[in-house]
């Protein structure tokens, strides 16, 4: 059994025998053991806030596939829940929130985050870290402010995020206040996860690509930089991964200005382009199309090798360009995990 801490060594710029790997949404609906626990729970949010169950789910893919890192089983909307918003996860629809509409509804969030409401999240981190092998990393996470704000304003998922963008343009002061609240809460949320045992933290900005360049700078880059700077003031050695999904050419500016240690690429990004344009020592993470993991076969292996070859000479973490799809056959995940575990750099 290896004792090489592949993911942490990669993030610290140390040489490794192979690229570490883990997969976004690696704990989830494609696994029968997850579905069994889900069927016994009283809703998704209760599942997230039950430390015994959530820690078990966090570890399920590690037990089955031996990835190099586990990621906390939780949700990016835990922070607005801690801020007092009520959230319901509806099957087939996703999260439903009582949407923010104006400064009056916004004022209800200005109280200090009710961390007792989500304290179970940090207990989950502790339980998961205690159960993980020392050479496996535990990744904590939060949603980035812009993405979380879209859910709070839209009242759930949205195709075009028009209400959130309208707020940003028409009510800039209110929108700025909301982002500031989320920055403060995200810093504390990540810090509490690190205190509880998270080795690495990740910021998911799933809807970063919805913004025009000037708005992207204002609502994605600036808040992310503030979070990174202040989390490191508290935890100087922590490594931070950013995922500005859909950022396109904005990946360059995001990577240079936010002070992240690693950047997750979405499926639209060419590995060859990223290897040339995103300068080391930045660690790159990504970016296999999750649909290929559903399809399997020769196409999966060919795409995997193409990504590995593109980043063979720099610090790299293999991942997907988005989360594992519920229809993914577990045997395809097993095959890919076995291949990645046996792959050696330069080989």
Q: Please give the pLDDT value at position 115.
A: 80
> What pLDDT, in 10s, does the model give residues 69-119?
999 999 999 999 999 999 999 887 889 999 998 888 888 785 555 688 999
Tell me how far apart the alpha carbons of residues 205 and 182 are, in angstroms, rounded to a whole number. Answer: 13
Cβ–Cβ < 8 Å for 60, 27? yes
Residue 163 within any structural domain of the chain: yes
Backbone phi and psi for residue 206, each to the nearest 5 degrees, phi listed first: -65, -25
Residue 347 within any structural domain of the chain: no
Q: Please give the pLDDT value at position 149.
A: 97
Task: Label residue 2 by pLDDT band (50, 70, 90).
Answer: very low
Active site residue 344: no
Q: Please give the pLDDT value at position 111.
A: 57
Q: Please give the pLDDT value at position 90.
A: 87
Question: Which residue range forms the structural domain that includes residue 325?
Answer: 6-342
Q: Beta strands of the chain (E only): which ranges? A: 69-71, 87-90, 94-97, 137-143, 200-205, 239-244, 262-264, 283-288, 316-320
What is the mean pLDDT of the segment spanning 273-301?
97
Q: Which of 38, 64, 230, 232 is catalytic?
A: 38
Active site residue 75: yes
CATH number, residue 158: 3.20.20.210
Residue 124 within any structural domain of the chain: yes
Q: Which of 18, 25, 129, 245 is catalytic?
A: 25
Active site residue 289: no
Q: What is the pTM of this model?
A: 0.96
SS3 letters across 42-66: CCHHHHHCCHHHHHHHHHHHHHHHC
Residue 1 within any structural domain of the chain: no
> What pLDDT, in 10s, does the model give residues 294-346?
999 999 999 999 999 999 999 999 999 999 999 999 999 999 999 999 998 76
Q: Structural domain tally of the chain?
A: 1
Mean pLDDT over the full length of the chain: 95
Q: Which of 29, 64, 232, 314 is catalytic?
A: 29
Report cis status (omega within 30 of 0) of the bond before 237.
no
Q: Which of 30, 34, 122, 151 is catalytic?
A: 151
Q: Which of 18, 30, 68, 75 is catalytic?
A: 75
Residue 64 within any structural domain of the chain: yes
Cβ–Cβ < 8 Å for 287, 321? yes
Active site residue 38: yes
Residue 334 within any structural domain of the chain: yes
Residue 87 within any structural domain of the chain: yes
Residue 75 within any structural domain of the chain: yes
Q: Please give the pLDDT value at position 91.
A: 82
């Amino acid at each position: 059994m290896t004792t090489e801490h592949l993911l942490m060594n990669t993030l610290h710029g140390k040489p490794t025998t192979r690229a570490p790997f883990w997969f976004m949404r690696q704990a989830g609906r494609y696994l029968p053991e997850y579905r069994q626990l889900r069927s016994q729970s009283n809703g998704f949010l209760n599942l997230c806030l039950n430390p015994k169950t959530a820690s078990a789910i966090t570890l399920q893919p590690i037990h089955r596939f031996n990835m190099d890192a586990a990621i906390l089983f939780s949700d990016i909307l835990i922070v607005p829940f801690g801020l007092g918003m009520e959230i319901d996860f509806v099957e087939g629809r996703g999260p439903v929130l009582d949407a923010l509409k104006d400064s009056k509804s916004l004022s209800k969030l200005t109280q200090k985050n009710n961390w007792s409401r989500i304290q179970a999240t940090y207990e989950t981190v502790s339980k998961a870290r205690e159960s993980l092998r020392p050479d496996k990393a535990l990744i904590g996470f939060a949603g980035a402010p812009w993405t979380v704000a879209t859910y709070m304003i839209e009242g759930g998922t949205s195709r075009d995020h028009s209400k959130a963008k309208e707020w940003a343009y028409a009510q800039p002061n209110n929108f700025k206040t909301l982002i500031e609240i989320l920055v403060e809460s995200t810093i504390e949320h990540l810090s509490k996860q690190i205190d509880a045992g998270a080795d690495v933290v990740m910021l998911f900005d799933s809807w970063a690509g919805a913004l025009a360049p000037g708005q992207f700078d204002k609502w994605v880059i600036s808040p992310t930089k503030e979070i990174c700077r202040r989390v490191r003031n508290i935890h100087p050695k922590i490594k931070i991964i950013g995922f500005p999904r859909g950022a396109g050419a904005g990946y360059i500016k995001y990577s240079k200005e936010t002070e992240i240690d690693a950047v997750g690429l979405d499926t639209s990004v060419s590995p060859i382009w990223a290897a040339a344009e995103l300068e080391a020592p930045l660690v790159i993470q990504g970016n296999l199309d999750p649909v290929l993991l559903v399809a399997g076969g020769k196409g999966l292996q060919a795409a995997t090798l193409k990504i590995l070859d593109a980043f063979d000479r720099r610090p790299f973490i293999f991942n997907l360009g988005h989360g594992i799809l519920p229809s993914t056959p577990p045997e395809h995940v097993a095959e890919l995990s076995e291949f990645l575990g046996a792959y050696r750099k330069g080989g």
